[in-house]
Structure 1
Amino acid sequence: MSEQVKLDYVEFAAGDLEKTKRFFTAVFDWSFQDYGDDYTAFENQGLNGGFYRAELCSTAENGGALLVFYSADIEATYKKVEANQGVIIREIFDFPGGCRFHFTEPSGNEFAVWSASR
């Protein structure tokens, strides 16, 4: 891996920063640092990043990058996503090497979760 240039930060639009923050805190145990009313940042999640207030969202269908979480217990993560206003948009499916599902968080951004086994 290049030490000179590497991926370091990702940003997403979020129509409702408070709902988005509550979702990621409840499901993935993230913490946030607010920078004014229109930006919040997260760190130490494998890739640092933030959410900025805008009525847009990122979906793979529209050409957005798909960020994929790893979970040792995909069923438990699936239930936490559902219980915290996430919307499952692709049910758990198998692929060579594991399984995964896709969801949107409350501001509409699409993510996926994969696991080596069910």
Structure 2
Amino acid sequence: MQSKEPTLGNGKICYLQIPAADIKKSADFYKAAFGWNIRHRTDGVTAFDDGVGEVSGAWVLNRPPSTTVGVLTYIMVDDIHATIELILANGGAIVQPIGGDAPEVTARFSDPYGNVFGVYQQGE
């Protein structure tokens, strides 16, 4: 990943807290499936930067997973089919296959703790 400063601006989504039961397992999952940069902050928190260095966040304990769709965050991917293989190989599950939001190329998955996110591929 190229090192750069994130875009700053009013209204930008910039930080996510993702519930986890096992932070290392969750960090390993997102690194393997999406190439996220994993960091260990000086306060002891395991944090991440997304694949393009624009959104950061951390995993949090003692919070229930987001298992139902309310606000749904989508992660952009280059190859949705390859990403689904990585999700499955690293402990995630597909909860809505490709085609559920047609004509958009999306799928929904749950991470190892049960949090539901979407994946989105621009065109196909």
Distance of 2:115 and 2:60 partners within structure 1: 12
Shift of 1:5: 4.7
Provide the secondary structure at the position in 1 that maps to 2:27: helix
Secondary structure in structure 1 of the residue aligned to 2:97: strand
Query: What displacement does 1:66 show?
Result: 1.4
Q: TM-score, normalised by structure 1?
A: 0.81
Identity of aligned residues (%): 31
Equivalent residue of 2:19, what SS?
strand
**Which of 58, 66, 76 is equivalent to 1:70?**
76
Aligned residues: 112
Structure 1 gap segments, 5+ residues each:
none
Deviations 1:11-65 (A, max 9, x none): 12111111101101111112222343xx32112543111111125111343x3x2
How do 1:44-83 and structure 2 match up within 5 A?
44-45=50-51, 46-61=54-69, 63=70, 65-83=71-89
Question: What corresponds to 1:91 in structure 2?
Answer: 97
SS at match of 1:32: strand
1:111 equivalent to 2:105? Answer no
Aligned equivalents of 1:110, 1:44: Cα separation in 2: 17
Instruction: Give the whole-Å Cα distance in 2 for the aligned partners of 1:67 and 1:57.
Output: 14
- CA RMSD between the two structures: 2.1
With structure 2 as the length reference, what TM-score do the two structures score? 0.77
